[in-house]
Structure 1
Amino acid sequence: MPTRRIGLLALVLIGASGALSVFAATREPKAVGAQTGGLSLEAPLPTQVPPGVTLVIGDPITQAVAEHEGWLDDLPFKVKFAEITGGPNVTEAFHAKVLDGGTAMNIPPIHATWVGIPVRMIAVRQKADWQEKPTFQLAIAPKANIRSLGDLRGKRIAYSQGQAQGELVLKILRDQGISTREVTLVETPSTSADAYVNALIGGLVDAAPIGAGAPTKRYLDNYAADGARVLAHGQRDDFTMLYVREEVLREPGKAAALRQYAQLWARALAWQNDHPAEWARLYYESRQGLSPADAAYVVRSEGARIVPADWSEAIRLEQDSIGLMAEATGHEPFPAEILFDRRFEPLVAQAYANARKTTRLAAASPSGDAR
């Protein structure tokens, strides 16, 4: 079925942004198995999608692959792709109920829970080589006089408590034995790729976590001669997922559709791993406007992403994140398990494994056709 993009979501999100700013009460997360009507979150996922179901998803990565390969035409439901990315924007769209699901790193679901928006992760991905290829680098301003992580004491650091970059800053400080009272955390929501770089160059901060791919390359290409640098932080920052509003999972038709979409998400991830050069051209050159050299650099810096067959490690990491962010924000910690819908766990893992197996078989065939 053809896909359509939502053009007027920005108007709705203006109101959503204001609404989120007045959320003052901390949500008391519901216990696992708590129900508010509709399909039980403990019931088996429905397999049949009734006519007329539409999912609204903010997921440009899967969108690019699925449209390129023509996979969306085979779905028994419609997908409307919204141009909404980044945890804060997805959370705003969830609050306005104009988005069923979106992609982000691991911190936005925690903050969505704290502001009263129940969400569930239905697909998880991690990096196979996260130590060598981190998602973020800690960038240092040209005149900051920071040579090591220990030099962060007394400095101004870009920070966003609702995003993974904010958690990374807290992890680095914790590892270095530096209290948040010994630094100045400068609230800098990274809603665009250049927000942190602009803060560094503008003299607003001394250090900031920036993307390890194109943002780091551009930053060093443009400012290394002035003294800019990046420091390896050694923290795990590779946890990315597909998550949805909990109430969407209580609608049987949409739950069945999400079952298939999550498998498509895993299939698209496998395709990216198996077609790095084509992925660089398809997404980073054509959609992001990067040069061929920069696009290839970004894909190399990303490394291979995998779908874990067991989410136990992801849940453990998320529990640590909840504790760290709760201490930093004054919110109450809660069990990480309520953020994960493990009914999807075997489905997504199997879809990923099947896609990788299909590609390997196709590569070994005379035609080499992986589609």
Structure 2
Amino acid sequence: MPRNIRSRLGAALLALALLPALASCAEDDEASASAAELADVPIPEDVDPDTTLTIGAPESEVALKLSGLVDELPFRVEWANLSGGPECSEAFRAGSLDVCSAAEIPAIHARWTDLDTRLVAAVFREDPIANPLYEIGVAPGADIETLEDLRGKRIAFSPGQAQGTLVLRVLQEAGLTPEDVELVEMPSTGDVYPTALGSGQVDAAPIAGVNIRRYTDRYGSEGATTIAHGLRDDPTHLWVPATAVEDPEKAAAIREFIELWALAEVWVDEHPDEWIEGWYIEDQGLSRDDGEYLVEQAGRSDLPADWSDAIERHQQTIDLLAEETGNEPFDAEELYDRRFESVAADALGGAS
């Protein structure tokens, strides 16, 4: 049943935080001090070839293999078929994962649940407004043409996930509060949101990827549409447990991985046909038409040498989520290991 944001979102996140939040403030301060001290610790120039990283980044794994760059990794890799916040957080806690690909939200919730992690690389879309990850799906007959029209509407909501945070940001952009709408909590996996829209369970929902086109193809004759939200929704990071970058040998291996990861990102941009065939068709089981649509939607990658803007935007997200969930805001700088800041851009000749 739909409920108010403050009760549902707050309850969900506080439940996650319950056990870890028992850690004292003194312990949190100590972790922050350690992070600050780590910034001055040099990363070894050479990589021990016997070092092993366990990496959960399936898309990057395929890109590295298709491009042949995987053969240049100067250390041992064990690939883990997982990515995203919940899976990676669990693996980090178990000590079974060193690197993960994730958006900006998981690192925030890790901080609030006493899981010490760092972001070591960042990639964005070159034109994020023209090429967003998400659009706002509008149900047939919902009478929504602008973000302001969301007032009083039922919106699909997934607390603790990127889609849920996007909903909060969209409401903020429209000058609305969560109390001005009815948030309907449901998982954002698969085609749950398009189905909920088409069946009239909700009036609006953030939808992404092929679901954008599939939704309008399926329900467009009934009046289904999408509207642009006009916000950046594109951050993707390489995310690691703090223990990985505190280990000098692993830190050196992570640096080398970032360099090849960056080259693989550019390879994908420059080899769309191979990428469609190898990733979207062979690995993901999509059609060529779907793959071509997704490549066009994504645009090119941007790997900045300076994370200042990214950290500022991350801070805005932290502050928004803190206000809505009752968690304590914190400095976004604590999430980033800036020793790795220019590694990706330097690997590309400093052009990004």
Letter in structure 2 aligned against 1:227: G
State which of 57, 60, 63 in structure 2 corresponds to 1:62.
Answer: 60
1:86–1:196: structure 2 CA closer, same or farther, 3 Å change rule? Answer: farther
| 178-187 or 254-263, larger mean C-alpha shift | 178-187
1:247–1:290: structure 2 CA closer, same or farther, 3 Å change rule? Answer: same
State which of 302, 312, 315 in structure 1 corresponds to 2:311.
Answer: 315
| 41-50 or 106-115, larger mean C-alpha shift | 41-50
Contact 1:159 1:208 in 2 (8 A): yes
2:132 equivalent in structure 1: 134
Where 2:33 maps in the other structure, the secondary structure is: coil
Where 2:339 maps in the other structure, the secondary structure is: coil
State which of 189, 213, 218 in structure 2 corresponds to 1:217.
Answer: 213
Instruction: Note the alpha carbon deviations across 1:175-209, whole angstroms, 9 max, x for none.
Output: 1111111212222333x332322332344322111
2:146 equivalent in structure 1: 148
- Structure-1 separation of matches of 2:30 and 2:131: 36
- Structure-1 separation of matches of 2:317 and 2:85: 15
Aligned: 1:251 with 2:250: no
Aligned: 1:34 with 2:30: no
- Structure-2 separation of matches of 1:64 and 1:263: 16
Alpha-carbon shift at residue 287 of structure 1 (Å)? 1.1
Aligned: 1:324 with 2:323: no
Where 2:342 maps in the other structure, the secondary structure is: helix
1:31–1:297: structure 2 CA closer, same or farther, 3 Å change rule? Answer: farther
State which of 67, 83, 86 in structure 2 corresponds to 1:85.
Answer: 83
Alpha-carbon shift at residue 26 of structure 1 (Å)? 7.4
The CA RMSD over aligned residues, in Å, is: 2.3
Instruction: Note the alpha carbon deviations across 1:267-315, whole angstroms, 9 max, x for none.
Output: 1111111112221222111111121111111100001111011111001
- Equivalent residue runs for 1:337-348 within 5 Å: 337-348=333-344
> Percent identity, aligned pairs only?
44
- Structure-2 separation of matches of 1:188 and 1:287: 27
State which of 161, 167, 181 in structure 1 corresponds to 2:165.
Answer: 167
User: How many residues are matched?
Assistant: 334
Instruction: Note the alpha carbon deviations across 1:106-161, whole angstroms, 9 max, x for none.
Output: 11111111111111111111111111111110111224332322221112212223
Alpha-carbon shift at residue 21 of structure 1 (Å)? 7.2
TM-score by length of 2: 0.88
Runs of 4+ more than 6 Å apart: none
1:314–1:32: structure 2 CA closer, same or farther, 3 Å change rule? Answer: farther
Letter in structure 1 aligned against 2:78: K
- Structure-2 separation of matches of 1:51 and 1:60: 22
Contact 1:133 1:301 in 2 (8 A): yes
Contact 1:57 1:79 in 2 (8 A): yes
Query: Which structure 2 residue ranges, 5 or more long, are not aligned?
Result: 1-14
Aligned: 1:279 with 2:278: no
1:333 equivalent in structure 2: 329
- Structure-2 separation of matches of 1:245 and 1:129: 30
- Structure-1 separation of matches of 2:340 and 2:252: 11
Contact 2:74 2:256 in 1 (8 A): no
Where 2:230 maps in the other structure, the secondary structure is: coil
- Structure-2 separation of matches of 1:169 and 1:94: 28
Contact 2:51 2:75 in 1 (8 A): yes
Alpha-carbon shift at residue 236 of structure 1 (Å)? 1.2
Contact 2:305 2:343 in 1 (8 A): no
Contact 2:157 2:183 in 1 (8 A): yes
Where 2:21 maps in the other structure, the secondary structure is: coil
Instruction: Note the alpha carbon deviations across 1:245-273, whole angstroms, 9 max, x for none.
Output: 11111111111111111111111111111
- Structure-2 separation of matches of 1:128 and 1:71: 23
Where 1:99 maps in the other structure, the secondary structure is: coil
Aligned: 1:352 with 2:348: yes
Where 2:283 maps in the other structure, the secondary structure is: coil
Aligned: 1:241 with 2:252: no
1:84–1:195: structure 2 CA closer, same or farther, 3 Å change rule? Answer: farther
Query: Which structure 1 residue ranges, 5 or more long, are not aligned?
Result: 1-18, 358-371
1:50 equivalent in structure 2: 48
